[in-house]
Amino acid sequence: MKETIIAPSVLAADFSHFAAAAAEIDASGAEWVHLDVMDGRFVPNLTFGPKLAADLRPHSKGIFDVHLMTEEPGALASAFAEAGADYITFHIEAAIHAHRVLMQIHELGKKAGISLVPSTPVSLIEELLPFADLVLVMTVNPGFGGQTLIEGCLEKIGALKRFREQKKLSFLISVDGGINAGTAPAAREAGADILVAGSAFFSAGDKKAFVRLLKGA
């Protein structure tokens, strides 16, 4: 079995010390850096734009996993591509022409992901899955870190895995929201390839041990 990828979210970092947060992520053994972009419209919170990704890029060896929680995600894709994003993921709930946005991200030379809020079923994105490199299953309502994982959302992972097998697709399945040492085993057993962790990562004393724990090692 492939090792679970860990993607700490800088949403839970001290916003006056992003470079230090990137260094902590690199040193922890986590492979990805999750960047939560919020516009105050799609979600009731604001974070940062592409300049943060660009400024952070030289401070990190990790894969930049940009999670757009924004309206009109297509309008931001090229700026994040230029800023050094590796994966650009947007919400199906924010994009009527989602296929076009996936294509746009691919044309920029980046991997494209699609995300689902807890109330959105997998069936809504089936037509898009052949064009996606990643599916981000939200296990909390997006907008804030530190919330409790909604267990029922984990069932979507199984549905995605079955669809992936049936159609011989290769998208990665990522889980975001309320992941900690207690909830990670269920997400891994359900079949997640990537676990995003914000508050649990930044509050862990020994980050290397925490990452090993999340990986189930």
Calculate helix-pair angle for 98-107, 74-82, nearest 10 degrees.
20
Calculate helix-pair angle for 18-28, 207-215, nearest 10 degrees.
60
Give Cβ neighbours of residue 20 (< 8 Å, ≥ 6 apart): 13, 14
Position 177 contacts ligand DX5 (CB under 6 A): yes
Options 153, 178, 183, 207; binder of ligand DX5; rule CB under 6 A: 178
CA distance 215 to 179: 12
* Residues between 60 and 79 with contacts to ligand DX5, criterion CB under 6 A: 67
CA distance 137 to 105: 19
Residue written as token pair 């309320």: 178
Stretch that binds Zn ion, among 35-43, 92-100, 122-130, 160-168 (CB under 5 A): 35-43
Please state the closest distance from residue 107 (CB atom) to Zn ion, in A: 24
- Closest residue by Cα to residue 69 from 12, 141, 125, 6: 141
Options 24, 31, 36, 65; binder of Zn ion; rule CB under 5 A: 36
* Residues between 141 and 200 with contacts to Zn ion, criterion CB under 5 A: 176
Position 135 contacts ligand DX5 (CB under 6 A): no
User: What tokens appear for 207 in the block?
Assistant: 């980050």
55 part of the active site: no
Give the residue with the Cβ less far from ligand DX5, 14 or 107. 14
Q: Of ligand DX5, Zn ion, none, which one sits near residue 140, judging by CB under 5 to 8 A according to partner kind? A: ligand DX5
Position 145 contacts ligand DX5 (CB under 6 A): yes
Position 39 contacts Zn ion (CB under 5 A): no
176 part of the active site: yes
> Per DSSP, what are the bridge partners of residue 32?
63
Return the SS3 of 58.
Answer: helix
Residues at the site binding Zn ion, with contacts judged by CB under 5 A:
36, 67, 176
| Catalytic site positions | 36, 176
Residues at the site binding ligand DX5, with contacts judged by CB under 6 A:
9, 11-12, 34, 36, 67, 140, 142-143, 145-147, 176-179, 196-200
